[in-house]
Amino acid sequence: MLDVLRRVIQEVNTAKDLDSALDIIVDRIQSTMNTEVCSIYLLDESRKQYVFMATRGLNEALVGKVALEIDEGLVGLVGERAEPVNLHNAKKHPRYLHITDLREENFSSFLGVPIIHHRKVLGVLVVQQARRRRFIASEEAFLITLSAQLSGVIAHAKATGAFSLSGVVADLPASEFQGTSGAPGVVIGTCVVMYPKADLAKVPERKTTKIKSEVKLFRQAIEESRAEIRHMSDKLSDRLQPEELALFDAYLHMLDDSAITGEVIVQIELGIWSQTALRKVIESHVANFLAMEDPYLRERGSDVLDLGQRVLAKLQSRDEKRKTYPRGTILIGEDLTPGMLAEVPRGRLAGLVSVSGSGSSHVAILAKALGVPTVMGVEDLPIHLLEEKPMIVDGFEGLVITYPNKEQLRLYKTTIKQEAAFNEDLEVLKDEPSETIDGERIRLWVNTGLMTDVARSLDRGAEGVGLYRTEIHFMMNDRFPTEEEQRLIYRKHLKAFAPRPVTMRTLDIGGDKALSYFPIEEENPFLGWRGIRVTLDHPEIFLAQVRAMIRANEGIDAYLRIMLPMVSSTGEVDEAQRLISQCYREIVEEGVEVEMPDVGVMIEVPAAVYQARDIVRRVDFLSVGSNDLIQYMLAVDRNNAHVAELYQEFHPAVLHALKTVVDAAHIEKKPLGICGEMAGNPSAAILLMAMGYDVLSMNSSNLLMVRLAIRSFKMSKARAILAKVLTMDNAFLIKSYVEEEMVKAGLSQLVRMRH
Ligand code: PEP
Ligand code: MG
């Protein structure tokens, strides 16, 4: 059975469109199950009808031409119940519906199973036979298994526009495609589809005898490509910080004689045509990257491919007609690369949408730095249908709307206007204190990573940095940065914020954050070698970083705090403390006059919640990493769109855990903050403030919204809300109760903007 399943799925996957896919399905099921009829009905949601889409055994002339209302017939019954209907005499069933000319009347037995994808019924798969009998359990199980496997393929085919090929739906209707947020913000614009400039995959096997001239030609292509990359880097230089621009240097290194160029020339000298040689070399590099488990490294494969295509385009001397980029360009592509961003003239790039990748892709990191709303990983996006078409990009929700209808446009235009007006209104709070109506002050700090975040944060009145994600700088490099390189960057950060506190987190790699030059390949990376586990195993990396942090403060006397990620035991804290003290002693012995920094621990693993008192006794402060804490407490991968709905900030277990940590820190009289995304959610911020969190650290774009929320409540009221919430047992109810209270406090706009 597994073999049959695998074969059918494989065949279906290679079908050119939805109609052929459905045709293959009905054909193979009919022959495998030896039934007389097999048909598929797909739900057309806009018309609320099941459309007869493919058949073996019924009247094929009616395919695409007849439909049942959603609540009609046995097909409708299967859809309603979302479970199989197995009948030995269908015609006797009260829901049986005769459709003229379908030629169904000869068949008595009926087995219909729903096709369900992500809880939604997409259609119904039916087998029928003349002989009166109930289909046996193994037949039912086979059909259910097949349907479950096919549902993803059918959903994809429907979404990518292939549904229109049946002639049933004239044009791709306005559709929403869910991806993940790459960079925040909402924009309405025009799609410009980025295809690779040249298609390496299509370069044929070819030999050459003109070795010298091929090498020369290739070298020219390399020189042109290098010049182009330098030019792109220059064009972006005033918009990006040096560490972000380092990405282009990495590209240039790849084109060195010691890397790709050298390898291609060796091939040409063996008598292989330059384009073929280039393809072979690039393909072998890309294959190596793609074979890696780690998503970050897989993405580097696409960087190499991008580079190869670029060189090929030069080699082919293809006179690419210049693409036009309208105002409000939304760049979309299967796999957007940082290089593609630079091709859009300044001021025209409004949004980015990538079919592959995630929020941690390079392109998303650059988009955040440039302030361009971005959605990543929109797997079903039909990009071939979108050139020059209007699109809405909702970078907050990770949502893309293609062919938006009037209603959606109106809604989002209003959102954009409201957001702009609201942001303008919020500006007045820049210099106001984050203080409740009854005079309790809460510290609002920011999370930073790129230097670009610094100016924006200061501009919004940030009172300190609660989380500086140092790994971002490591990720933009192609080797570990030296102690001195790190010192200079940390110094810039400290200087910019002095005398305000800056909390530098030690390198937090692993999980979904990988370094191309330090691969970590694991079955289960979020439960593996992450954060402090890596750096304690590599004290040389840890010591260099901590030394750089402490030395960076020389002569500035900023308030430096060092924070340890992913701690799950007191032993890790003791070991890290020992190394930090060693660094400090050495630095003082070297004659540098600096203060010993505060040291703190992130509480982001459930074990640390229950040992919060033991941990906080050893250090100066705690900060909750709610992003990870939620994923570990609720067993929900924070990057997995399939379980995104289960990732709940207001889950009662999460709230009680957060309260436990506050109590532990307060008993030990130590300060405590929270630096996960939750702190930047105004509704959650009210609860956190009531719990007693001293510091809420967030993305700078949320800062003024949270300040407004704090200024709209009395602490006593916030505490009353919290007290009630802590008696509730359902995340949805808690969320709506808190939001209701926000609305009552006049913050309906804040609540709306979070949706
Ligand atoms: C967290 O886990 O909440 C956190 C702030 O760290 P990161 O998101 O970088 O894992
Ligand atoms: Mg974390």
Are residues 264 and 249 in contact, defined by beta-carbon separation less than 8 angstroms?
Answer: no
Q: Evaluate: CB of 471 within 6 angstroms of ligand 1.
A: no
Lowest mean pLDDT segment, chosen from 92-101, 134-143, 328-337: 328-337
| CA 627–ligand 1 middle distance (angstroms) | 5
- Whether residue 467 has its Cβ less than 6 Å from ligand 1: yes
Looking at the fold, whether 375 and 480 belong to one and the same domain comes out as no
Question: Looking at residue 160, what is its pLDDT?
Answer: 60
Pair 139, 238 in one domain: no
Exposed, middle or buried by CB within 10 Å (0-12, 13-18, 19+), for 258? Answer: exposed
Query: Confidence band (pLDDT; 50, 70, 90) for 657?
Result: very high
Mean pLDDT of 732-748: 96
Average pLDDT over residues 492-501: 95
Residue range 388-398: mean pLDDT, rounded:
90
C-alpha 625 – ligand 1 centre gap (Å): 5
Q: Is residue 415 part of a domain?
A: no
Calculate the CA 474 to chain-centre distance.
Answer: 20
What is the average pLDDT score of the chain? 88
Distance 635 CA to ligand 1 centre (A): 16
What pLDDT is recorded for position 452? 72
Cα-based distances in Å from 688 to 381, 621, 645, 649, 753: 38, 16, 22, 11, 20
| 134 lies in some domain | yes
Residues 574, 703 within the same domain: yes
Cα 626 to middle of ligand 1, angstroms = 7
Which residues fall within 8 angstroms of residue 406, CB to CB, at 6 or more apart?
none
Judge whether 412 lies within some domain: no
- Tell me the per-residue pLDDT of 684-696, one tens digit each, with 9 for 90 and over: 999 999 999 999 9
User: 628: CA distance to ligand 2 center in Å?
Assistant: 5
Ligand 1, atom 1, lies closest to the CA of 625
Please give the pLDDT value at position 168. Answer: 35
Work out the percent of the chain whose per-residue pLDDT is above 70: 92
Give how far Cα 56 sits from Cα of 20, 28, 129, 373, Å. Answer: 13, 10, 12, 47
| pLDDT of 365 | 66
Look at ligand 1, atom 7, and give the residue with the nearest C-alpha: 627
Position with higher pLDDT, 328 vs 6: 328
pLDDT band at residue 361 under the 50/70/90 scheme: low
- Based on the domain organization, do 156 and 215 belong to the same domain? no
Q: Classify residue 424: in a domain, yes or no.
A: no
pLDDT at 700: 85
Whether residue 171 is predicted with pLDDT greater than 70 in this model: the reply is no
Residues 591 and 694 grouped into a single domain: yes
Residue 344's pLDDT is: 84
CA distance 334 to 204: 23
The answer to the question of residue 419 being in a domain is no
Q: Domain for residue 537, yes or no?
A: yes
pLDDT band at residue 629 under the 50/70/90 scheme: very high
Cis-peptide, bond into residue 671, ω within 30° of zero = no
Q: What is the mean pLDDT of residues 74-101?
A: 94
Total domains, the chain: 3
731, pLDDT greater than 60: yes
Per-residue pLDDT tens over the stretch 565-611: 999 999 999 999 999 999 999 999 999 999 999 999 999 999 999 99
| 503 alpha carbon, closest ligand | 1
**Residue 330, pLDDT score:** 96
- Res. 165 pLDDT band, cuts 50 70 90: very low
Phi, psi of 592 (to 5 degrees): -85, 135
**Cβ-based neighbours of 720, under 8 Å, separated by 6 or more:** none
Last residue of a domain, one of 160, 186, 201: 160
The Cα 294–Cα 523 span in angstroms is 9
CA distance 143 to 32: 11
* Measured distance CA(568)–CA(557) in Å, rounded: 31
Instruction: Report yes or no on 125 lying in a domain.
Output: yes
The model carries a pTM of: 0.72
Question: Is 226 found in the same domain as 299?
Answer: yes
Statement to judge: residues 296 and 259 lie in one domain: yes
Atom of ligand 1 nearest to the CA of 471: 9
If one compares 379 and 571, the residue with the highest pLDDT of the two is: 571
Q: Is 362 an annotated catalytic residue?
A: yes
Same domain flag for 521 and 596: yes
Which atom of ligand 1 lies nearest, measured to the CA of 511?
10
Ligand 1: which atom is nearest the Cα of residue 508? 9
Q: Which atom number of ligand 1 is nearest to the Cα of residue 627?
A: 3
Ligand at minimal distance from the CA of 471 is: 1
Neighbours of 291 (CB within 10 A): 11
Q: From the CB of 625, is ligand 1 less than 6 Å away?
A: yes
Best residue among 296, 468, 469, 473 to mutate for probing ligand 1's pocket (most ligand atoms within 8 Å of CB) is: 469
Maximum mean pLDDT: which of 8-22, 361-375, 389-403: 389-403
536 assigned to some structural domain? yes
675 is catalytic: yes
Q: How far is the CA of 289 from the centre of ligand 2 (A)?
A: 26
pLDDT in tens, 410-429: 989 988 888 888 888 889 99
Q: Is the pLDDT of residue 540 over 50?
A: yes
Predicted pLDDT at 258: 82
Q: Is 675 in the pocket of ligand 1 (CB under 6 A)?
A: yes
* Contacts with 180 (C-beta within 8 Å, 6 or more apart), sequence order: 358, 359, 375, 376, 377, 398, 639, 641
What CATH number is given to the structural domain containing 111?
A: 3.30.450.40
Indicate if the pLDDT at residue 755 is higher than 60. no
Residue whose CA lies nearest to ligand 1 atom number 4: 625
Which tokens belong to 336?
């957007």
Q: Report residue 740 as tokens.
A: 């209701």
The predicted pLDDT at position 461 comes to 85
Higher confidence at residue 291 or residue 194? Answer: 194
| Cα distance between residue 395 and residue 184, in whole Å | 4
The mean pLDDT of 601-626, rounded to a whole number, is 98
Nearest atom within ligand 1 for CA of residue 628: 2
Out of 160, 195, 229, pick the residue that ends a domain: 160
Q: Is the pLDDT of residue 161 over 90?
A: no
Does 517 share its domain with 373?
Answer: no
631 pocket-lining for ligand 1 (C-beta < 6 Å) = no
Q: Tell me the ligand closest to 446's alpha carbon.
A: 1
Structural domain containing residue 370: 172-403
Q: What is the pLDDT of residues 255-299, one digit of tens each?
A: 888 888 999 999 999 988 888 899 888 888 887 777 677 777 767
Confidence bin at 164 (pLDDT 50/70/90) = very low
Q: So what's the pLDDT on residue 521?
A: 87
Question: What phi, psi does 365 have (nearest 5°)?
Answer: -65, -45
pLDDT confidence bin for 436, thresholds 50/70/90: very high
Residues 127 and 193 in one domain: no
pLDDT attached to residue 162: 46
Beta carbon of 604 within 6 Å of any ligand 1 atom: yes
Are the beta carbons of 422 and 682 closer than 8 angstroms? no
Q: Are residues 150 and 184 in the same domain?
A: no
Q: Which of 403, 422, 444 is the last residue of a domain?
A: 403
The model's confidence at residue 163, banded by pLDDT at 50, 70 and 90, is very low
pLDDT at residue 429 in the model: 93
Distance 339 CA to ligand 1 centre (A): 28
pLDDT at 234 over 70: yes
The catalytic position among 117, 362, 473, 651 is: 362
Which CATH number is 385's domain given? 1.10.274.10
Q: For residue 319, what pLDDT is reported? A: 36
Could you tell me the pLDDT band of residue 183, with boundaries at 50, 70 and 90?
A: confident
- Unique residue bearing structure tokens 């990396």: 541
CATH of the domain at 563: 3.20.20.60
The verdict on 380 and 508 lying in the same domain is no
